[in-house]
Amino acid sequence: MMKNIFYSIAILAATLSFGCHSSGGYLSISTKDTSSSFKFEAKYADGKTAKLEKYLDSALNNELPLDQHIDLLVNLNGSDKFNLKATKGWLEISFDKRNSSLASYMKVKKLTEGIKGKLME
């Protein structure tokens, strides 16, 4: 009985490890969407940083050096902003829904869907 549990755990660990490290690196994406905030976090293979940087530069009309440690507020449309933190292989976007428009929330959500798509390519 104990051997079976041990083997099951070993197989599960090996499967998860392979799944997370196949296709040129690992990828972990999480989204937390509450009534007051939206948070997106991605951990990815360092080699995808340039592709993601190119996408964000185009989507935000701004050059962001994602291979350096950045922490900045990105202006969406005058009053609405979101916080973008990044370093090579990691990106986090935080958006405060309070005092922000639905249109801005939708823009941030669309941006994070685009990021997810680029990282999964």
CATH of domain 24-120: 3.30.1360
* Statement: residue 21 has pLDDT above 70: no
CA-nearest of 54, 25, 56, 51 to 40 is 56
Where are the domains positioned within the chain?
Answer: 24-120
| Pair 119, 48: CB distance under 8 Å | yes
* Statement: residue 19 has pLDDT above 60: no
Which residue carries 């986090």 as its tokens? 92
pLDDT value at residue 55: 93
pLDDT tens column, 38-70: 999 999 998 899 999 999 999 888 888 888 899
Average pLDDT of span 9-17: 50
